[in-house]
Amino acid sequence: MKYLISVLLCFFTFISAISIIPFNAEAANIVKTSGNYKYHIIDNETVEITQYTGNDEKIVVPSEIDGKSVAGICYPFIGNENKNVKSVTLSEGIKYINTAFYNCPNLVEFHLCKSLKYVYYDFLNGTAIYNDKSNWDGKVLYYGGWIAGMDVTPESDGTLGTLTIKEGIKKICSLPDFYSGELNNGYTKINIPASVTSFPYKTLSKNQKNLTEVNVDKNNKRFSSRKGVLYDKRMTKLLCYPSKKKDEVYKTPQSLRQIKKYAFSLNQHLKRIVITKRVTSFPRGTLDLCIALQNVNVSKKNSKYASASGVLFNKTKSKLIKFPVSYPKKTYKIPKSVKKVCAASFMFSNIKKVIFNKNIKTIGSVAFYGCMELKTITLPKTIKKIGHEAFGWGYKYYEGVDPEDDVMELIYGVHFKFYKNSAGEDYYQYYMSQEDYRGIWSYKYLKQK
């Protein structure tokens, strides 16, 4: 299933999570100038500095421009190589750095402010500070209590090996993204010290496809771990189940109440997940492309979720939430109780035939996206709404002699059966009007009874 991992990595890139950094896309098109600084407006009270255009040796980045507060600085900041810059000071009030100072080769001092909430993990890349190896601790450059640089040179096995974060570091805002290009292997283990209070766990499952374990110091007051799985301190929230952890069965702790979005995404080994009675939060995306998953089993005492034949439902089974990607049977008949097939519920599964009951009213967006074995779809007239690309593209992966020769080919070939003047016909006609689908799908009208 190598092609499935590649496809979902692309899919995650397309629907990547909204950044925590404030940004107004419309205002970003309007660049203003004040002295040696260019900026764009975030809102009525704050701005973001985009560039310094002067040639001073010492830069003091202001916390206010034209009567508005400076929230942060972003790329490129130093637009052209500026060999004059030797010192940068951030004024108190600035909250983030979302750039790297690539164009400051002689920068030897960087004074951070206490108000910082976010820093780009590689923000000192290209500076004299970065290039001085005496400032490094192994493969990590620490500066002013933050991670300021990371060496992403692969180990002999092609991964980045173990990342051990130094005690004393409190906030880790970002890690290298390994879902595209050459940097697609990431770390195998991550060790978190007692001092860390903030960690970008939401990106681990999506970006670290070779991660086998996350270990947290027992004295950490914010996070905890058990058998390489990352939780909050009280183990009420599951934050990350590593993508390459090799266990085939996982049972949530009895204390667990929430499973965070994408917590299991891209796991390559899990075949069965057991959800205990207190779990009440299971967001869309939680099990995206767990390529070996065959069964999801829910405790009968759970008040919000239920399972039947290894498929996840809400408690009343009126909503089908998640169908395992590697379900052991190729034909599935949706129970009569189901009225809604939820968004992304069957996405990338290997199912060949789905039998819809006559009580279903809604099929959610991308519900059957990438189900390449599903060649024929018969839609009952009771369906009133079909979401965006519910039966979207499928892909086939061809591995070349060299990695650069790998090819991903779109596969369509779906035959629809539906009634005239139904939601099924509306869906078909809408997508057939688009060039990508035109002439590829086929259909047949069902006879009215």
Among 128, 151, 174, which residue terminates a domain?
151
Q: For residues 307 and 428, state if they share a domain.
A: yes
Q: Please tell me the total count of domains within the chain.
A: 2
Q: For residues 87 and 11, state if they share a domain.
A: no
Q: For residues 23 and 80, state if they share a domain.
A: no
Q: For residues 190 and 53, state if they share a domain.
A: no
Q: For residues 19 and 50, state if they share a domain.
A: no
Concatenated DSSP letters of 1-57:
-HHHHHHHHHHHHHTPPPPSS---HHHHT--EEETTEEEEESSSSEEEEEEE----S
Cα dist. 347→344, 377, 394 in Å?
Answer: 5, 15, 10
Neighbours of 269 (CB within 10 A): 18
Please tell me the predicted confidence (pLDDT) of residue 289: 80
Domain span at residue 80 reads 31-151
d(CA 25, CA 23): 6
Q: For residues 47 and 181, state if they share a domain.
A: no
Q: For residues 429 and 389, state if they share a domain.
A: yes
Q: For residues 75 and 215, state if they share a domain.
A: no
Q: For residues 194 and 315, state if they share a domain.
A: yes
Q: For residues 395 and 282, state if they share a domain.
A: yes
d(CA 8, CA 107): 40
Q: For residues 182 and 134, state if they share a domain.
A: no
Please tell me the predicted confidence (pLDDT) of residue 407: 52
Given a contact cutoff of 8 angstroms between Cβ atoms, the answer to whether 337 and 316 are in contact is yes
Neighbours of 404 (CB within 10 A): 6
Among 151, 166, 192, which residue terminates a domain?
151
Residue 146's CATH number = 3.80.10.10
Q: For residues 176 and 91, state if they share a domain.
A: no
Please tell me the predicted confidence (pLDDT) of residue 382: 95
Among 100, 123, 151, which residue terminates a domain?
151
Residue 185's CATH number = 3.80.10
Print pLDDT tens along the chain (449 aa): 444 555 455 554 444 433 434 444 444 568 899 999 999 998 889 999 998 988 899 999 999 999 999 999 988 888 666 788 899 999 999 999 987 787 788 999 999 999 999 998 889 988 999 999 889 998 999 998 899 999 888 888 888 899 999 999 999 988 886 544 444 568 999 999 999 999 988 878 777 888 999 999 999 999 999 999 999 999 999 999 999 999 999 999 999 999 998 899 889 899 999 999 999 998 888 888 899 999 999 999 999 999 999 999 999 999 999 999 999 999 999 999 999 999 999 999 999 999 999 999 999 999 998 888 888 999 999 999 999 989 876 444 445 545 454 554 555 568 899 999 999 999 999 888 776 666 678 889 998 87
